[in-house]
Chain A
Amino acid sequence: MSTTIPNRNTLLAGFSSADWESQRRRVTAVLLILPVVMMTLLFLVPLGYLLWLSFGGPAGFSLNAYKQLSAPFYINLALFTLQLAFLVTIACAVIAYPLAYMLANIENTLSRLVVLGLVISLWLSVLARTYSWIIILQRNGVVNNMLQWMGITDGPLSLVYNQTGVYIGMIHILLPYMVMTLYPTMRAIDGSLVRSALSLGATPWTAFRRIYFPLSMSGLVSGSILVFTMAIGFFVTPAILGGGSANTIVMAIQNQVQVLVDLPLAAATSIILLLVSMLILVVYEKIAGVEKIFGEGR
C-alpha cells in the first residue's frame, strides 16, 4: 500500500480483503478515541486522585488511613455490607427467576403489562420508591393494619427502621434489574430445545434442569453481578429504612466525609470497597463463568 487514502478507482474496484481489514481497523481506532478520552477524564483521573488521597494526599505519604480501617468497627461494617448484598442478591435471584420465566414463556397481555411495569419502575427515583415503603411498612401502615384486621397479629410489627425494612426495600428496588437481565436471556432460548429434550425422553423437570437452566445461567450470572455491585454501594435505602440499625460501608464513607472530615480515610475506604467488589466479581466469574458454559466458540 503506497497511499493510505484509497482513491476513487480502488473504491470502485472493491477492496482486497487486506485493504478492507486495515480500513476497518482504522475506523475502529478513530471511533475508540472518544470513549478512551472520556474514560480517562471521568474515570481513571478521579480514581488516581482517590488513590493519591488515600495515601495521605497533600499531607505526604502515609498508611494511616489503611491502618485505621483495620479496626474491628470497620471490619464488622464490611462484613455486614457483604452479607446484606449477598442475601439481597440471593433473594432477588430466587424471586426473579420464576417471574422472568413466566414473562418470557407466557405470551399474554398480563405478562406484557408486567414487563412494562418493570421497565417503568427502573425509571422511577430510588428515593421515591424507598419512601413509599415507609408508608406501607410503618406501625399504622397498610401491611400492619391489614395483618391486625385479619387477626394474624395482635399488635403492629416493626417492619421498618430496622434490618427487615432494609432487606424489603433493597430487594424491591433491585428486583427489576435481575428480572430485566434474565428476561432477554430466557427469551433467546429456543423453545424447540426443550421440546426436543422432551421428545428424547426427558421429563419436564429433567429438561428444565439439564437444558433450560444451564442456558439461562448466563443471564443469572450477569443479573447477580449487577445486583450485587449495586447492593454493595447502596446508600439511600439502608440509610432511610434502616433507621441507624443497618450501617453499611457507604454510609461510613458519608460519615467520614461530612462528620469526621477525614478525606484520606474516606478515600481509603472507597478504594478497599472497590477492590473487594472487583475481587468478588472475578471469583464469581471463575465459578459460574459464562465463558465456561459456551466455551471459546461464542
Chain B
Amino acid sequence: MTTATTSIAGTAPINTRGVGVRFEQLSKRYGDFYAVDSLDLNVAPGEFLSILGPSGSGKTTVLMLIAGFVAPTSGRLLLGDQDISQIPPYKRNIGVVFQNYALFPHLDVRRNVGFPLEVRGVPKDEIAKRVNWALERVHMEKFADRRISQLSGGQQQRIALARAIVFEPRALLMDEPLAALDRNLRQDMQYEIRSLQRSLGQTVIYVTHDQEEALNLSDRVAVMNLGRLQQVDTPKNLYLRPANPFVAGFFGEANLLSGKTQGGVFTTDAGIRLPVTETREGPAVLCVRPEMIVFGDERKSDFPSLTGTVLETRYRGSILHIELDTPLGKINAVQHINTTNDAPAEGTTLEFGWDPNLGHVMMGQV
C-alpha cells in the first residue's frame, strides 16, 4: 500500500506486484484437534495458488490465519519478508473476498468499494478516481449508485472483488467466491478473476473444493486433507505425478496397485511383476490412469501384458468406460470413441497393458 499510493498517475494506479506469502511450520489447534498441522508452503509474488481439499480439511482456517482472524498456535507466517503472525487484521493490507461477499447492505456500491480507501484517509477525489478504476476492472462502472440489495449474485461478487483490489492489497484471499453462482456464470467469473489477477500481478490464494476450478485457475494447487498439506504442484503434475494415493484419487479416476518396487520392476501384493521406470526401492503404490490403458495390438513390446474380463461398459459422451476383472483386481479403462470401435461385450476377454513411462510409482505408501 505505502509504495502504491505514492505512484498513482492519472486514473489508473501503477501496480506493484503482489508479495509472496510463506508459511513456516504453521499450526492451528482447537483443543487437541489440529485444524491446520505444520503447514510449510511458499507462495511466490504474483502467483495464483489454489487450496483444494474436502470439507473440514482446514482450507478456511488457512485463509483466516493469513487474514489474521485466527491466531496460529505455533509457527511463522511471512508476508514478503515480514512476520505478520502478531499483526492485527486491519494492519495487514490483505484483501479478502468472503464466500457470502460480505458487502455492507447500508452503503451503496460506490461507498462499499470506497470503504477501504475512506478508512485509510485517502482524499475524496482520489477515492472517486480509484473507485471508478476498480469498478471498470470488474465491468461494473454502470452500477456505482446501486444499492447492494439491487444487485444479482454475480454482480455482488464483482463488487466484492473490486472492493478487495481497490486498495492494492499485498495479497488477495478468496474463500470459495464462486460457490453460490450457477455453472455458466462461474466459468465467466473464473476467466475474469484469472485475467484480472494476471494484469494486476496480484498474489492470489484461492480456496475451493471444486477441482476443475482449481485446475483452471491456478499456477499451482495445494491439496489439503485432515489439516495437512498433501502436495503443492502444477495441475499437470498433480494428475500425472501425484505424491500419494489421496492426491491420485482426488484428481480423476485412478487404478491404484499396492506392492513394492525394486530395480525397475514393481511387484504387486499378489506377486504380479510389472515394468516401471522408478529406480528407487521399497514399498510403493503404482498409479495407472484409466486413459493410459491400451488394448490388443496397440500395446508395445515393453508394455506389461495382462488379460482381463469385461465386467461392464458405459458410454459417457465421447468416452467409453470399461471395467475389467483382472489378476490385479478391478481395473478401469477409458477409450475415446471413433466410428470403428464398438463396446466389447460383457464377458469378453481382452489383452491390455500400458506404457511403463506413464505409470507412476508413489514411494513409501502402503
Answer whether residue B93 sits at the interface, using C-beta atoms and an 8 A cutoff. yes
Decide yes or no: A195 and B102 within 8 Å by CB, A200-B115, A206-B119, A297-B149 being known contacts.
Answer: yes
- Asked whether, in the complex, the Cβ of A193 is within 8 Å of the Cβ of B90, the reply is no
Decide yes or no: A215 and B100 within 8 Å by CB, A199-B95, A200-B163, A201-B120 being known contacts.
Answer: no
Cβ 8 A contact of B102, one of A193, A202, A214, A297: A193
Chain A residue numbers with a CB within 8 Å of B104 are 193, 196-197, 211
Answer whether residue B11 sits at the interface, using C-beta atoms and an 8 A cutoff. no
Cβ 8 A contact of A200, one of B88, B100, B167: B167
Chain B residue numbers with a CB within 8 Å of A192 are 98, 100, 102
The 8 tightest CB contacts between A and B, nearest first, are: A297-B149, A196-B102, A200-B116, A199-B96, A192-B102, A198-B89, A202-B119, A198-B90
Answer whether residue B150 sits at the interface, using C-beta atoms and an 8 A cutoff. yes
Q: In the complex, A242→B88 CA distance in Å?
A: 51
- Asked whether, in the complex, the Cβ of A197 is within 8 Å of the Cβ of B115, the reply is yes
Which B residues fall within an 8 A CB radius of A? Answer: 67-69, 88-96, 98, 100, 102, 104-106, 115-116, 119-120, 147, 149-150, 163-164, 167
Q: In the complex, A206→B118 CA distance in Å?
A: 11
Decide yes or no: A202 and B90 within 8 Å by CB, A293-B106, A294-B105 being known contacts.
Answer: yes
Given A199-B96, A202-B115, A215-B105, 18 extra CB contacts under 8 A = A193-B104, A195-B96, A195-B98, A195-B102, A197-B119, A199-B68, A199-B69, A200-B90, A200-B116, A201-B93, A201-B119, A201-B167, A202-B90, A202-B119, A203-B119, A210-B115, A297-B147, A298-B149
How many chain A residues have a CB neighbour from B under 8 Å?
A: 24
Cβ 8 A contact of A199, one of B67, B100, B105, B120: B67
Closest to B100 in A: A192
Chain A residue numbers with a CB within 8 Å of B100 are 190, 192
Closest to A298 in B: B149
Chain B residue numbers with a CB within 8 Å of A214 are 106
Q: In the complex, A210→B111 CA distance in Å?
A: 11
- Tell me, rounded to whole Å, the shortest Cβ–Cβ distance linking A128 to chain B: 41
Sampled A-B contacts (17; CB under 8 Å)? A190-B100, A195-B69, A195-B102, A197-B104, A197-B119, A198-B69, A198-B90, A199-B67, A199-B68, A199-B90, A199-B94, A200-B119, A201-B93, A203-B90, A295-B149, A297-B147, A297-B149
Q: In the complex, A82→B98 CA distance in Å?
A: 47
Answer whether residue A46 sits at the interface, using C-beta atoms and an 8 A cutoff. no
- Asked whether, in the complex, the Cβ of B102 is within 8 Å of the Cβ of A201, the reply is no
Chain A residue numbers with a CB within 8 Å of B90 are 198-204, 207
Q: In the complex, A202→B150 CA distance in Å?
A: 25
Chain B residue numbers with a CB within 8 Å of A207 are 90
Closest to A207 in B: B90
Closest to A202 in B: B119
Q: In the complex, A206→B68 CA distance in Å?
A: 17
- Tell me, rounded to whole Å, the shortest Cβ–Cβ distance linking B129 to chain A: 18
Q: In the complex, A117→B163 CA distance in Å?
A: 42
Chain B residue numbers with a CB within 8 Å of A190 are 100, 102
Chain A residue numbers with a CB within 8 Å of B88 are 198
- Asked whether, in the complex, the Cβ of B106 is within 8 Å of the Cβ of A199, the reply is no
Decide yes or no: A195 and B105 within 8 Å by CB, A201-B116, A297-B149, A298-B149 being known contacts.
Answer: no
Q: In the complex, A135→B246 CA distance in Å?
A: 71
- Tell me, rounded to whole Å, the shortest Cβ–Cβ distance linking B67 to chain A: 5
- Tell me, rounded to whole Å, the shortest Cβ–Cβ distance linking A52 to chain B: 46
Chain B residue numbers with a CB within 8 Å of A200 are 90, 95, 115-116, 119, 163-164, 167
Chain A residue numbers with a CB within 8 Å of B96 are 195-196, 199
- Asked whether, in the complex, the Cβ of B116 is within 8 Å of the Cβ of A215, the reply is no
Q: In the complex, A206→B69 CA distance in Å?
A: 17
- Tell me, rounded to whole Å, the shortest Cβ–Cβ distance linking A236 to chain B: 39
Closest to B64 in A: A195
- Tell me, rounded to whole Å, the shortest Cβ–Cβ distance linking A135 to chain B: 46
Q: In the complex, A197→B103 CA distance in Å?
A: 9
Chain B residue numbers with a CB within 8 Å of A295 are 147, 149
